[in-house]
């Protein structure tokens, strides 16, 4: 996979942490890695692919715990309340680390204030899919069908970022899609296959597997450019200019972690991400390592928060 090419297309660059400092964090004591989305999601997969190498380098167990719900707030608050000793960490996705600031009213945390950035994790995109037997064959067909059936074309939404993608399609295409909320993408895919939903957004990994199995048809990817893992799948931006919604994950800790501890964990993550087996496993799901140190993650997250708050305001979406 041409990692740098894909990052460049998404407007990102690689930022490599300094080498060295791979000492143990707290010898023998396990690290709890909290994941805010269910098993089977790209967030969960990227975490489980990366942490074995991280565990080996740090010399201590890293145990993954899925705590979905409340748009990721349940998982985030578990970490926010933890001691800043490096033993409770978060592999946060775009929603709890950025878009919740635009979508969730009275959010009990501010990721810029209440979390410590440690390292980037992974970068990918969503894919708009319909069942393989659908008469809708292209994204242009989908727009035309939605115009013929205003307010009746249903699209599954499992995160705030997907909600904004649907709202942006409505705005750019001049249509009115019916957004149907779900707790996770597996359930929305099941309903697309069963004919309950017309379409849904899912992660690139699920899309690759389901399309290969002849169950789903991809209509477009959410990143500005096509994903190298499926170059024949068009980007939605090819029909709706400027449509650009990349998905990312990052490792975070509680506020107040010491710089030495943060740098030690960050360096271990970066070294794990460079292992060929990690790169290869991520590539099977259309994902690449997002190698960023603490300062880069901090700046990137702040820029993403500002971006989604602006987009939500422009789309007239109010926090709920």
| 46 vs 49: CA distance, rounded Å | 5
Domain borders along the chain are 3-124+247-314, 125-238
Q: What is the DSSP letter of 181?
A: E
pLDDT band at 26 (very low <50, low <70, confident <90, very high): low
As given in the structure block, the two tokens for residue 214 are: 């002849």
| 47 vs 105: CA distance, rounded Å | 28
| 236 vs 229: CA distance, rounded Å | 16
What pLDDT score was predicted for residue 27? 56
Q: What would the CATH number be for the domain defined by 125-238?
A: 3.40.190.10
In CATH terms, are 3-124+247-314 and 125-238 the same topology?
Answer: yes
Q: What would the CATH number be for the domain defined by 3-124+247-314?
A: 3.40.190.150
State the alpha helices, DSSP H only, in 198-293: 204-212, 259-273, 276-283
* 1-5, 50-54, 57-61: range with lowest mean pLDDT: 1-5
pTM for this predicted structure = 0.77
What pLDDT score was predicted for residue 20? 40
* Other residues' Cβ atoms within 10 Å of the Cβ of residue 7: 18
Q: What is the DSSP letter of 288?
A: E
Q: Is the pLDDT of residue 1 over 60?
A: no
Report residue 259 CA to chain centroid gap.
26
Q: What is the pLDDT of residues 114-144, one digit of tens each?
A: 999 999 999 999 999 999 999 999 999 999 9
Q: What is the pLDDT of residues 171-230, one digit of tens each?
A: 999 999 999 999 888 899 999 999 999 999 998 988 999 999 999 999 999 988 898 889
């Amino acid at each position: 996979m041409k990692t740098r090419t894909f990052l460049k297309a998404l407007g990102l660059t690689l930022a490599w942490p300094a080498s060295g400092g791979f000492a143990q964090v707290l010898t023998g004591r396990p690290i709890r890695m909290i994941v805010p989305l269910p098993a089977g999601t790209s967030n969960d997969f990227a975490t489980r692919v990366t942490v074995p190498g991280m565990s080996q380098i740090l010399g201590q167990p890293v145990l993954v715990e899925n705590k979905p719900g409340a748009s990721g707030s349940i998982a985030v608050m578990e970490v926010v309340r933890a001691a800043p000793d490096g033993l409770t960490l978060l592999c946060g996705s775009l929603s709890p680390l950025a878009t919740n600031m635009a979508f969730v009213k009275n959010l009990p945390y501010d990721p810029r204030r209440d979390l410590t950035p440690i390292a980037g994790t992974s970068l990918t995109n969503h894919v708009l899919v319909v069942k393989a037997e659908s008469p809708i064959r292209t994204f242009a067909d989908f727009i035309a069908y939605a115009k013929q059936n205003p307010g009746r074309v249903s699209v599954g939404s499992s995160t705030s970022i997907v909600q904004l993608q649907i709202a942006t399609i409505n705005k750019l295409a001049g249509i009115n899609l019916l957004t149907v909320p779900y707790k996770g993408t597996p359930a929305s895919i099941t309903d697309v296959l069963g004919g309950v939903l017309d379409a849904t957004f899912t992660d690139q990994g699920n899309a690759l597997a389901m399309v290969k199995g002849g169950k789903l048809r991809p209509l477009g990817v959410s990143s500005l450019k096509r994903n190298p893992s499926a170059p024949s799948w068009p980007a939605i931006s090819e029909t709706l200019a400027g449509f650009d919604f990349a998905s990312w994950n990052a490792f975070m800790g509680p506020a107040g972690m010491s710089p030495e501890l943060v740098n030690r964990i960050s360096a271990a993550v970066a070294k794990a991400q460079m292992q060929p087996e990690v790169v290869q496993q991520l590539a099977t799901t259309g994902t690449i390592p997002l190698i960023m140190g603490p300062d880069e993650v901090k700046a990137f997250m702040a820029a993403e928060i500002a971006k989604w708050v602006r987009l939500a305001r422009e789309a007239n979406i109010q926090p709920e």
